[in-house]
Structure 1
Amino acid sequence: MTSGNNGASTPEDDDPFGYLYADGQANGAQPPSGGGGYGYPGSVNRTRAVGQRQYGQPAPTQQQTAAYGQVPQQQGAYGQPSAHYAAPETFPGGGAPTTPQQPTRGGGGGGRSGGPNTKGLLIGAIAVVAAVVIGIGVAIMGGDDSDNKASGDSTPTTSTSQSAQPSTSSAASASAALPKTDAKDLQLGGGATTASDVKGAKSDGGTYVTGFNNVGASITWTVDLQKAGSYRLYVQYSIPAVDANATLTVNGKPNQQPLGMKNFIKSSDTDLAKNWQSTWAPVTLTKGTNTLTLSCGQGNQCNALIDQLWVQ
């Protein structure tokens, strides 16, 4: 179908929008106005404006639509802008579109218009890292404590046992290395002699030195040492519940203090068999041979039985 009137006066052969085209306008097509025809001259006036009827909606008012058979007056000729059209920039407040403004970030004390709070996120991240570090530290500490507890029952015992054994062995070796003698092996003088009648003596065969309570009586012990130093001279004795003492001479030099043989057990029984006990005096010995002498001198109380001597 071409624009214009082809002779048929039916809606099927008519182009209701012919006035919109240049060839239609050349053939006399005009936009509808008043009660005149629609489209080409002699066309059937049976059309409606597009969008006039809306099904399921209330009928539009006269102000909203044009009269039956007419199109809105604002539509102009082809190629001409509508009288009611205006560019957006011509309206109040219009104009060329501007670049959207970026949301501003709030300051420290005021509000904010948009954007994430990076300061708050940073603080949160630092708190999380700190919590993780503390947790790891606690776990490590806890793990160390648990390991110590798990092995603590055995390790200290083993360490103590290992350290104690050498000490015991060393003490035993030292005791074994340091000399000890019985009454029968001593050199006696000044009327001192040996006997075994009184029970309780610890020397071999129960032998002890008697007759020591006479002035001039003496007991001499020659001892060899591998190391010089300060030692203690121990003496095993028995007294009739009365204190006794003797002069101690080391390598020919008398000690300033006599060897005290006191009643340390606080016995009141004069039975010598019940009063065996020991005493000691400090001595300084040299490496090699040393001579130790107990003697009953003037002013000494020497009523005692002696059965053993040893250095410690």
Structure 2
Amino acid sequence: MTPGNNGASTPEDDDPFGYLYADGQANGATPPSGGGGYGYPGSVNRVRAVGERKYGQQTAQGTYGQQTAPTAPYGQVPQQGGYGQPNTHYGAPETVPGGAQTARTPMPGHGDGGGRGRGPNTKGLLIGAIAVVAAVVIGIAVAMTGGGDDDKGGDQAGSTPSASQSASPSETTTKAPGATVELPKIDAKALNLGTGSGVTTASDVPGAKADGGVYVTGFNNVGASITWSVSGISKAGKYTLSVNYGVPGKDANATLTVNGTAQDRPLNLKNFAKAPEGDYAKGWTNTWADITLNKGTNTIQISCGQGNQCDANFDQLWLEEGWK
């Protein structure tokens, strides 16, 4: 700089906006014109047009004696080399003369220069995962099927059924406790008929269910009776006596005695079939009475006593467990 008013004393003191201030204008600062300096007359010209500087030239002072890599002009895309070739935009130390040489190690799973890479081996991972799941499922199935053998086998590792063991159920069956047992049933003709009272058997009235259609008749006399000696009663308790009988279209009744004790209520021989009077064939029906029996043998008697209406024929008698 000359002693004259030629701008800032040093380039660092150049004020690009000096023309905006009064003292700057007093010192001769003017607005910048195209290509001028910072606004002071004779100021240092540091402005360069975009793209004017050429890159890639050898600098006056290199880095550690090396030549910098050439670059493209500002604003232009640097020319790229092929895959695996030195890049003109950036030069690694090993690509510069005198730089260190290093060996290129390809990345795992990548190609050898064909430009295409391969991803991780997911197929192998999938196969391994499926194998693990299959092993777990098989282990659970084996544990479930063989888990009960340890409790049954004791100290033995395994056992084979002997020849005496049977794979099929035994043909011999027993009745479960409390199961209903079939109780005795008898045709009236097989009963003990009272003597000297006119009680007899007949088969002229159709409709009797007894074998051969044979029934007991002649009961319409005081003192007439039929007696059933029942054996094989497994337990004492309540039973129901059922009687199949026939009346000639009118109601009847009789005295019922069990093991020598007359029941409070007479045996009801009502005309439940609604048969017309005098028609024995249409008067077949049945009745029942609640009684109590002892275990073993019991005696049941039906008789015609004083005050009974005993005009009836008797067909069959049977027992049922419990009261109705």
Instruction: State the TM-score, normalizing by the size of structure 1.
Output: 0.48
Rg comparison, structure with higher value: 1
- Structure having the higher helix fraction is 1
